[in-house]
Amino acid sequence: MRPWKLAKRLVPLFLLFTLVLSGCSSILGDDPSPLNPKGSVGEDQLFLIKLSLFVMTGVLVIVFVLFGYVVIRFRKRKNQTGVPKQTEGSHVLEIVWTVIPLVLLLILAVPMVTQTFALAKDYSESEEAEQVKVIGHQFWWEFQYPEHGIYTAQDLVIPVNTKIAFELTSADVIHSFWIPGLGGKMDTNPGMTNKFYLDAEEVGTYKGKCAELCGASHALMDFKVQVVTQEEYEAWVASMKEPSQAVNEQDALAQGQEIFKAKCMSCHAIDGTQPGVYPNLKGFADRELVAGIKENNAEWIRKWIDDPQSIKPGTLMPNVDLTDDELDALTEYLQSLKLE
Ligand code: HEC
Ligand SMILES: [Cu+2]
């Protein structure tokens, strides 16, 4: 093939690669990501990524340069006939190209194996770590804090600079719990408990995703991680334990509360110390998003209660029959579910 023909084929391919790869960064923008981690686990993993990339790029460059040199230097000349002089066997070369890969493999293997064991450290009995139980559901996340007896959903609240020992399981199919800015992912398997730990070194909001195709709305199974200071965390724990204030009958919210009790309470608890099969709505108004995906404002709350199936196809929240007045009252009531 003529060189320009080859170039004509390769250029579009490289343009396509650039486009595809730029998608990797646009998902997270400047947010923390595996390439810009904000936790010790993510940083250790990034080191391994960089180390292997560095070693492999080095090998690639050297091999291609040698290859190019040989192809050009020993190409068939004009007027050349017959088979060129053949060389066979070289002890020196054979030893060199056996030893170099061995050394490279050692450079890769020693930190990899060491880190694999270090990152598998079990903090589930540790005093200094916070224990969080994660349960994946189609298509939402439940978070339990066994040391505090708290149950919540969609917004994972954790203290900064603290090891979080996760215990992960699933209520239905296999999901995968992933906070790209803090570290690698871990599967949640039905009937099994997986363990791993993460920590965050900066206060802020991080994105979380389900990373295992788990059904129709897998791509919408997002959550948020709120990394807060130790004091804020303790305050959050305390307010999650507070009993929810009852709305009295004269209050404008009373109608919403009535409808909630009649039509929603069978699935949703509003008391943070109650485990539930479905998302616990204690402090729902303080959550970042509705159902992990939509801005938490009156408009989206109303749309969600009116027709969750159109927002998250296949969600286990049914479309409940409600009048416009009831929807307004419920929206207002849900917006009042703030933590003290
Ligand atoms: C049959 C059980 C069921 C009933 C009844 C039900 N829901 Fe839900 N609800 C769910 C499930 C399951 C989810 C999680 C949906 C998802 O994200 O896949 C959910 C999610 C929600 C969320 C989002 C929670 C969050 O943290 O983002 C809100 C708000 C909500 N429901 C409000 C209501 C209201 C108001 C009613 C009454 C009209 C109601 N639900 C009735 C099961 C139910
Ligand atoms: Cu999932």
For residue 250, report the distance from its CA to the centre of ligand 1, in Å.
26
The number of the ligand nearest the C-alpha atom of 223 reads: 1
Question: What is the number of the ligand closest to the CA of 168?
Answer: 2
Nearest listed ligand to the Cα of residue 300 = 1
**C-alpha 332 – ligand 2 centre gap (Å):** 30
pLDDT in tens, 42-71: 999 999 999 999 999 999 999 999 999 999
Please calculate the CA angle 130-131-137 and round it to the nearest 5 degrees. 135
Ligand 1 centroid–CA 273 distance in Å is 18
Question: Atom 25, ligand 1: which residue's CA is nearest?
Answer: 291
**CA–CA gap between residue 189 and residue 177 (Å, rounded):** 10
Please say if the pLDDT value at position 279 is more than 90: yes
Choose one of 268, 270, 300, 324 to mutate for the ligand 1 pocket test, by most ligand atoms within 8 angstroms of C-beta.
Answer: 268
Contacts of 51 (CB under 8 A, 6+ apart): 107, 108, 111
- Could you give the percent of the chain with pLDDT greater than 70? 97
User: Average pLDDT in the 184-190 region?
Assistant: 96
CA dihedral 178, 179, 183, 189 (to 10 degrees): -20
- The letter for the amino acid at 104 is L
Mean pLDDT of the chain: 92
Ligand 1 pocket residues where CB is under 6 Å: 139-140, 153-154, 260, 263-264, 266-268, 278-279, 284, 287, 290-292, 304-305, 312, 315-318, 320, 330, 334
How many A from CA of 328 to the centre of ligand 2?
Answer: 31
Confidence class for position 28, pLDDT limits 50, 70, 90: low
Ligand 1, atom 43, lies closest to the CA of 317
- Residue 311 Cα to ligand 2 midpoint, Å, equals 16
CA–CA gap between residue 243 and residue 339 (Å, rounded): 10
Asked if 333 and 261 count as a contact pair (C-beta separation under 8 A), the reply is no
The answer, yes or no, to whether residue 6 has pLDDT greater than 70, is yes
- pLDDT exceeding 90 applies to what percent of the chain? 78
Report the pLDDT value the prediction gives residue 24, as an integer from 0 to 100: 64
| pTM for the model | 0.87
Ligand 1 binding pocket mutation candidate from 138, 155, 255, 264 (most atoms within 8 A of CB): 264
Say what the pLDDT of residue 1 is.
Answer: 62
Among 270, 132, 115, CA closest to 193: 132
- Average pLDDT rounded to a whole number, residues 205-231: 96
Exposure string (b/e) for 257-267, b if CB count within 10 Å is 16 or more? bbbbeebbeee
pLDDT in tens, 135-155: 999 999 999 999 999 999 999
Provide φ and ψ at 242, rounded to 5°.
-60, 135
Report which DSSP code applies to 218.
G
Strands (E), the chain: 130-137, 140-145, 150-153, 155-159, 164-170, 175-178, 186-188, 194-198, 204-210, 222-228, 289-290, 294-295
Q: How far is 146 from 265, CA to CA, in rounded Å? A: 23
Q: Tell me the per-residue pLDDT of 229-277, one tens digit each, with 9 for 90 and over.
A: 999 999 999 999 988 777 777 777 889 999 999 999 999 999 999 887 8
Taking residues 155-178, what's their average pLDDT? 97
**Per-residue pLDDT at 209 exceeds 60:** yes
User: Does residue 129 carry a pLDDT above 60?
Assistant: yes
pLDDT at 26 over 60: no
**What domains can be seen in the chain, in order of their start residue?**
24-71+92-229 (2.60.40.420), 254-335 (1.10.760.10)
How would residue 3 be classed by pLDDT, with cut points 50, 70 and 90? confident
Query: Helix and strand tally (H, E) in the chain?
Result: 8, 12
Write b or e for each residue in 72-99: b if 16 or more Cβ atoms lie within 10 A of its Cβ, otherwise e.
eeeeeeeeeeeeeeeeeeeeeeeeeeee
Mean pLDDT of the 279-308 span: 94
154: CA distance to ligand 2 center in Å? 13
pLDDT at 29 exceeding the cut of 70: no
pLDDT in tens, 290-304: 999 999 999 999 999
**pLDDT recorded at residue 44:** 95
Rounded Cα distance between 167 and 143, Å, is 10
